[in-house]
Amino acid sequence: MRRPADHRYARRSDSKLEPPCGILQLGRMRSVSSVGAMQRLAKSWRRRGVPIGFVPTMGYLHDGHLSLVREARRLVGRQGKVVLSIYVNPTQFGPKEDFRRYPRDLPRDLALCREAGVDVVFCPTDAELYPEGASTWVVEEALSQGLEGQSRPGHFRGVTTVVAKLFHLVLPDVAVFGAKDYQQAAVVRRMVRDLHFPVRIRVAPTRREPDGLAMSSRNRYLAGDLRRQALVVVQAIRVAQAQVRHGAGAAAGTLRRQLERVIARAPDARVDYIAFFDPETLAPLRRVQRGAHLALAVSVGKTRLIDNARL
Amino acid sequence: MRRPADHRYARRSDSKLEPPCGILQLGRMRSVSSVGAMQRLAKSWRRRGVPIGFVPTMGYLHDGHLSLVREARRLVGRQGKVVLSIYVNPTQFGPKEDFRRYPRDLPRDLALCREAGVDVVFCPTDAELYPEGASTWVVEEALSQGLEGQSRPGHFRGVTTVVAKLFHLVLPDVAVFGAKDYQQAAVVRRMVRDLHFPVRIRVAPTRREPDGLAMSSRNRYLAGDLRRQALVVVQAIRVAQAQVRHGAGAAAGTLRRQLERVIARAPDARVDYIAFFDPETLAPLRRVQRGAHLALAVSVGKTRLIDNARL
């Protein structure tokens, strides 16, 4: 029997009917879901000396994400490539968290990415990113202990593991993270330093709504009055900044109680933590002075919000 | 005051007196200790499309290591680069193990590498490989549980962590490991698969002394009569192979007791484990048949030896 030798060639050449597995061309932008295709693409750029900028996200993009894309573009230049990944990583959610209802809208995200000049949107599948029987984890055991790590056990193990996987697939020269997830950025920086990843980490400032609320994909959960109540988070930050900037500093306990009272103004808000810490080591501070960092996590209704600021 | 603008240039040009920090030229081979210099070198090869083959070792090289170098050379070709690392990794030794007395002889190793055609010997320092306050680990939680993992708690956490660091510094296309450390090779393969390292893993066969003893840097601990006693390890493997090849297989317990009797012939030998398992999953087997894998760890005097074979 004759083997149909040119069958594969015929399929490959007719790219409109049969695009290469896991790649979709959208004008000048590509959407890639296959991990193998992503890594091959990244390697081909590397061989040609093309710098790669990377923005890892969980999708449902807002202007905070797009500001990271702009920063990545600035860093790699017009000749460079900007990759944005969209992946709602199951391993960084706790069993009672919002993994299933986390907002998703891929068509909208792709349109936003195309407008923003992203070169490749990488949206891997669970099955490929976590192969059958996956048993390897990256763990950071110091900076990830407090704050979010304490409230969300296992969260940062999920984050460091997925970021390591994504770095190996996208092979970026520089990766851009948002300052809103302050501890996440610190943990990723530490991971990169400790494991000697050949990647530079850039942290870009938090983008805020006109009324000051930090942009977040989870803000869409905040219907009606809850959206207004959520502003106590920003008000608490402003109170802390005013206290520290115009005085000799304050005892952490005293300042914390003051901020708790600000947050209590919203009937549906519940403080998870209010923490003052050293911006580098994340070590808790007893006395809060200029340059200290504040992070807080507050649930408003069923929606958990986080924010942070340098004081 | 005038800044001595060309001071740095003058230092760099006079390479015999002031070689670049962390790099030593030895004929056509280089020895690199700085992690930054190693990564820059690897990146420059990558940009030029030069394939990189990597052999990680703890030094005190023997022909087993050199066979890995030959395999790496075969895989990357004459245009490629072969990097051999020498690093006695403290984190893979238990507190009561032989970290301090592990044999070291860098001048001899460098001479052997030069003869073998290694391009770069990478010998990083503890302080650089594990920066102050290093808190990030790579852990494999399935294949690393039994065998060596059970006898040496924390061993594989040290192995996976240091291999991840070395991969990020050497940026190899292919890394070659020895089959003598069978479980180590399986754990590293799993790590590479799970974390999507852009590295191919090759496992090369165990090299043996003329009398059959697997080559190991630790063999040098075996003085006089202990060296002869150590052969019970090889004899046990041969007995197991004969049993399985000429029969319908055997119950694991029965075969284990038989091998224990072989090892008991050496008065200073003490079995740590004798294990029969599936060569892919490392899952223990109750019934041992052709294709099963045998691994054993035996202390001869104070020296712990491991060996393994397909039956």
CA B143 to each of CA A126, B35, B267: distance values in angstroms, whole numbers, following the listed order: 21, 30, 32
Tokens of A120: 């490749």
Predicted local distance difference test score (pLDDT) of residue A211? 96
Q: Which two tokens stand for residue A127?
A: 């099955």
Interface membership of B143 toward A (CB under 8 Å)? yes
Q: For the ranges A150-154, A172-176, B2-6, which has the lowest average pLDDT? A: B2-6
pLDDT of A193 over the 90 cut: yes
Examine domains B7-204 and B217-310 and report if their fold is the same: no
A47 in contact with B at a CB cutoff of 8 Å? Answer: yes
Residue B253's Cβ-count burial label (10 Å; 0-12, 13-18, 19+) is: exposed
> What is the Cα–Cα distance from B238 to B234, expressed in whole angstroms?
6
For the stretch A204-217, what's the b/e string if a residue is b when 16 or more beta carbons lie within 10 angstroms of its beta carbon? bebbebeeebbbbb
| Whether B85 contacts B55, CB under 8 Å | yes
Structure tokens at B147: 């065998």
The helix-helix angle for B182-195 and B155-170 (nearest 10°) equals 60
Q: List, for chain B, all residue ranges whose pLDDT scores fall below the cut of 50.
A: 1-18
**d(CA A254, nearest CA chain B) in Å:** 31
Tell me whether residues B137 and A138 touch, CB distance under 8 A: yes
**Which of A134, A143, A198 lies closest to B135 in CB terms?**
A143
Give the residue among B77, B167, B82, B76 at the shortest CA–CA distance from B116.
Answer: B82
Instruction: Express as a percent the part of chain B with pLDDT over 70.
Output: 93
Closest approach of B156 to chain A, Cα-based (Å): 11
Any alpha helices (H) in A86-146, and if so which ranges?
Answer: 106-116, 126-129
Contact state of A139 with B141 under an 8 Å Cβ cutoff: no
At residue B282, the pLDDT reads 97
Q: What is the pLDDT at residue B277?
A: 97
DSSP state at residue B232: H
Q: Which two tokens stand for residue A249?
A: 């500093």
Lowest-pLDDT range of A114-128, A233-247, B134-148: A233-247
For chain A positions 188-227, those within 8 Å of chain B (CB to CB) are: 190-191, 193-198
User: Searching chain B, which residue's CA lies closest to the CA of residue A141?
Assistant: B135
Selected residue of B135, B189, B200 to mutate for chain A interface (largest A Cβ count, 10 A): B135
Q: What is the mean pLDDT of residues A228-253?
A: 93
Task: Report the distance separating Cα A237 and Cα A216, nearest Å.
Answer: 17
User: What's the CATH fold of domain A217-310?
Assistant: Pantoate--beta-alanine Ligase; Chain: A,domain 2 (3.30.1300)
pLDDT for A14: 38
SS3 A126: helix
> Tens of pLDDT along A33-89?
999 999 999 999 999 999 999 999 999 999 999 999 999 999 999 999 999 999 999
Instruction: State how far the Cα of B69 lies from the Cα of B201, in Å rounded to an integer.
Output: 14
The reply to whether residue A196 touches residue B135, judged by beta carbons under 8 angstroms, is no
Contact B168 A197 (CB under 8 A): yes
- Chain A residues whose CB is inside 8 A of the B43 CB are 198
- Please give the mean pLDDT across all residues of chain A: 92
Cβ–Cβ contacts within 10 Å for residue A68, how many? 27
pLDDT value of position A286: 96
Quote the tokens at residue A38: 């992503």
Residue contact A136–B136, C-beta within 8 A = no
**How many beta-carbon pairs under 8 angstroms link A with B?**
92
A134 DSSP 8-state letter? -
Q: Which CATH architecture has domain B7-204?
A: 3-Layer(aba) Sandwich (3.40)
Cβ atoms of residues A173 and A53 within 8 Å: yes
Q: How far is CA A177 from the centre of its chain?
A: 6
Residue from the list B43, B49, B164 with its beta carbon closest to the beta carbon of A195: B164
Q: Which sign does the torsion angle of CA A104, A108, A110, A112 carry? A: negative
Query: Where would I find the beta strands (DSSP E) of chain B?
Result: 23-26, 29-32, 52-57, 81-86, 120-122, 136-140, 174-178, 200-204, 250-251, 269-277, 287-288, 293-300, 303-310
CA distance B114 to B106: 12
Residue A5 pLDDT: 36
> Nearest by CB to A140, which of B49, B130, B136?
B136
> What are φ and ψ of residue B161, in 5° steps?
-65, -45
What angle do helix axes B106-116 and B63-76 make, rounded to 10 degrees?
Answer: 40
Bridge partners, residue B174, by sequence: B53, B200
Q: What's the pLDDT tens digit per position in A5-30?
A: 333 333 333 344 445 567 888 889 99
Least CB-CB distance to B196: which of A169, A193, A196?
A169
Quote the pLDDT of residue B20: 58
Please answer whether residues B124 and B33 qualify as being in contact, where contact means their C-beta atoms are separated by less than 8 angstroms. Answer: yes
Q: Are strands A52-57 and A81-86 parallel, antiparallel or unpaired?
A: parallel
Smallest CA-to-CA distance from A64 within A179, A183, A229, A174 is with A179
With CB atoms and an 8 Å threshold, state whether B195 touches A161. yes
Give the pLDDT of residue A21.
66
Res B290: pLDDT: 93
Task: Answer yes or no: is pLDDT of A254 > 50.
Answer: yes
Question: H-helix or E-strand containing A170?
Answer: helix A155-170
CA of A186 vs chain B CAs: smallest distance (Å): 12
pLDDT computed for residue B92 by the predictor: 97
Distances (CA, A) of A190 to A130, A195, B88, B137: 23, 8, 23, 11
pLDDT at A6: 35
User: So what's the pLDDT on residue A20?
Assistant: 58
Domain map (residue ranges) of chain A: 7-204, 217-310
